[in-house]
């Protein structure tokens, strides 16, 4: 099993096709693209039956947290997945995750198997699960991501996510990716992930493109659509 801990700022921007093209041209001068190209990120977010976690998050508290199961591409039986505990405190994102097989993760989340990792991260995840109780798959989310890595700062990453889709059926990472779209076809979610400050060249590109920071939660936006569909009221 593999452990991972991340602590960083995550800044989000909704960009159109023109702004994305402008950003990509600048990124390629200072960063290297992921050699694997665009990849599909798949997630299952867990929540209580009354959506306690996402409702708390949308209230924009100083501290918020969520739990998700993630894979890079559609999972084949017994492939590796990541169980991630993501916390945000005063704008700083803290992410702890462990890797395990898909069947171990699903049985653990269903309460049919103990977590097979006695580490600090494993204990944090286990405490979270016991504290909230009755966690269940709430939303499946997938999107196509292009990632860039800085050639000068190992803690700086940038990503473009497009075709962000969600659904509430077939909420398994072994199912085919798909669902309702959260963004317009010409839109992408651009994210800057850094442990320190944004480099000056990137600040200048954002200003030149009139690219403004946005408050955007993929799970939060999906939840808003769930509520609007149940109430019959459009959230447009």
CB 64 within 8 A of CB 161: no
Is the pLDDT reported for residue 197 higher than 80? Answer: yes
Determine the angle formed by the axes of helices 17-30 and 200-208, rounding to 10 degrees.
160
First to last CA, the chain: 43
The span from the CA of 184 to the CA of 187, in Å, is 5
Residue 1 pLDDT exceeds 50 = no
Distance, in Å, from the CA atom of 160 to the CA atom of 144, rounded to the nearest integer, reads 8
**pLDDT for 122-153, tens place per residue?**
999 999 999 999 999 999 999 999 999 999 89
Encode pLDDT of 10-40 as tens digits: 999 999 999 999 999 999 999 999 988 899 9
Mean pLDDT score across all residues of the chain = 93
- Give the architecture-level CATH label for domain 3-231: Alpha-Beta Barrel (3.20)
Query: What is the token pair recorded at 168?
Result: 């509430």
- Classify residue 39 as exposed, middle or buried by CB count within 10 Å of its CB (0-12, 13-18, 19+): middle
**SS (HEC) of 139-200:** EEEEEEEEEEEECCCCCCEEEEEEEEEEECCCCCCCCCCCCEECCCCCCEEEEEEECCCCCH
So what's the pLDDT on residue 203? 97
pLDDT tens-digit profile of 149-184?
Answer: 999 898 999 999 999 999 999 999 999 999 999 999
Give the separation between CA 166 and CA 24, rounded to whole angstroms: 26
pLDDT digits (tens, 9 = 90+) for 44-82: 999 999 999 999 999 999 999 999 999 999 998 778 999
Which pLDDT belongs to residue 118?
A: 85
Residue 228: CB atoms within 10 A of its CB come to 13
CA distance 72 to 81: 8
CB 122 within 8 A of CB 139: no
Question: Residue 33 is encoded by which pair of tokens?
Answer: 């693209």
Query: With contact defined as beta carbons under 8 Å apart, do 142 and 161 qualify?
Result: no
State the residue for tokens 């306690």.
52
Calpha distance 182→225 (Å, rounded): 9
Whose tokens are 């993501």? That residue is: 86
Q: Which pLDDT score, from 0 to 100, does residue 36 have?
A: 84
Phi, psi of 19 (to 5 degrees): -65, -40
- Any idea where the domains of the chain sit in the sequence? 3-231
Report the C-alpha gap between 82 and 70 in whole angstroms: 5
């Amino acid at each position: 099993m593999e452990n991972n801990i991340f602590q960083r700022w995550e800044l989000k921007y909704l960009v159109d096709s023109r702004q994305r093209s402008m950003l990509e041209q600048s990124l390629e001068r200072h960063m290297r693209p992921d050699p694997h190209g665009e990849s599909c990120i798949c997630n299952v977010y867990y929540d209580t039956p009354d959506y306690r976690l996402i409702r708390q998050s949308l209230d924009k508290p100083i501290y918020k947290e969520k739990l998700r199961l993630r894979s890079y591409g559609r999972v084949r039986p017994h492939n590796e997945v990541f169980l991630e505990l993501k916390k945000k405190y005063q704008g700083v994102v803290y992410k702890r995750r462990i890797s395990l097989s898909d069947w171990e993760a699903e049985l653990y989340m269903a309460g049919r198997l103990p977590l097979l990792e006695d580490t600090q991260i494993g204990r944090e995840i286990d405490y979270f699960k016991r504290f909230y109780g009755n966690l269940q798959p709430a939303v499946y989310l997938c999107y196509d991501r292009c990632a860039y890595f800085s050639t000068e700062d190992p803690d700086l990453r940038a990503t473009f996510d497009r075709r962000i889709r969600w659904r509430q059926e077939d909420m398994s990472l072994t199912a085919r990716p798909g669902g309702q779209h959260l963004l317009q076809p010409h839109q992408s979610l651009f994210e800057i992930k850094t442990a320190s400050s944004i480099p000056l060249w990137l600040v200048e590109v954002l200003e030149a493109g009139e690219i403004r920071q946005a408050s955007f939660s993929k799970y939060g936006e999906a939840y808003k659509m769930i509520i609007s569909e149940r109430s019959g009221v459009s959230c447009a």
